[in-house]
Amino acid sequence: MTDDKDVLRDVWFGRIPTCFTLYQDEITEREAEPYYLLLPRVSYLTLVTDKVKKHFEKVMRQEDISEIWFEYEGTPLKWHYPIGLLFDLLASSSALPWNITVHFKSFPEKDLLHCPSKDVIEAHFMSCVKEADALKHKSQVINEMQKKDHKQLWMGLQNDRFDQFWAINRKLMEYPAEENGFRYIPFRIYQTTTERPFIRQLFRPVATDDQLHTLGDLLKEVCPSAVAPEDGEKKNQVRIHGIEPVLETPLQWLREHLSHPDNFLHIRIIPQPAD
């Protein structure tokens, strides 16, 4: 039987085969060959694309190089969303490899945040971790950690070191046994059918009668359109880390095993693909 650490490790090492190609209108000194990479689902594009940037800069004129950005089928890719979430939202029904277009000019100011350095990514990541702990533990755990612990969390993610990251992150997953779960579940629900970036609200993992809330309970309260009626047709897919968990799965278990490194449970809802 698979133990908890095996689940966490499998989630961490999930990869997406990806083909990067240079935008056709970019001016190059010679032909730009595609670049292939296995992207880690739990990381951020701007953390793992240094090799992509170096590959294409070799064929560019230096005066034409500005801030790099990526798009998929006309949609700019938000670097502050985890890679797996971007793929699940935009391309999960597409054939692999995931085809991403690389740009070095015409930065889409209205669609993307600038990311001039990895310090910006670190600040965003730690802000999410702190927000999640405020929901789970009233910030008590993250505030009791030393600065070196915060740094180890970040370096574990940046360097793709599972054990380094989880040596610290496990503290953020603990709670008193008598409480059966966290204070609130840090989650974000994303839909492709709305312009709203995501849904979030306070939701407890345990009901007033001490029964564990399930994924279905969360969706029925927060996003009822995502749940098919008992006698109705299934219209949506609900996915976390590329898998479709059963709605009866306890939220607390999902939170402990399928959260991203930022300590949020990122839930993606898209229309059910046509057969």
- One-letter amino acid for residue 85 of the chain: L
> What confidence category does residue 274 fall into, taking pLDDT thresholds of 50, 70 and 90?
low
Does the pLDDT at position 261 exceed 60?
A: yes
Ramachandran quadrant class, 118 (left: phi over 0; alpha: psi -120 to 50; beta: rest): alpha
Query: Phi and psi (nearest 5°) for 199?
Result: -105, 135
Residue 201 has pLDDT above 90, yes or no: yes
Q: Is the peptide bond before 97 cis (omega within 30 degrees of 0)?
A: yes
The dihedral over CA atoms of 23, 50, 258, 154, expressed in degrees to the nearest 10, equals -140
Mean pLDDT of the chain: 91
At 225 the pLDDT is: 82
Pairwise pLDDT comparison (140 vs 63), residue with the higher score: 140
Angstrom distances, CA of residue 127 to CA of 170, 241, 267: 18, 21, 19
Which residue is listed with tokens 């209205």? 110
pLDDT in tens, 148-194: 999 999 999 999 999 999 999 999 998 877 777 899 999 999 987 77
Q: Please tell me the predicted confidence (pLDDT) of residue 27.
A: 67
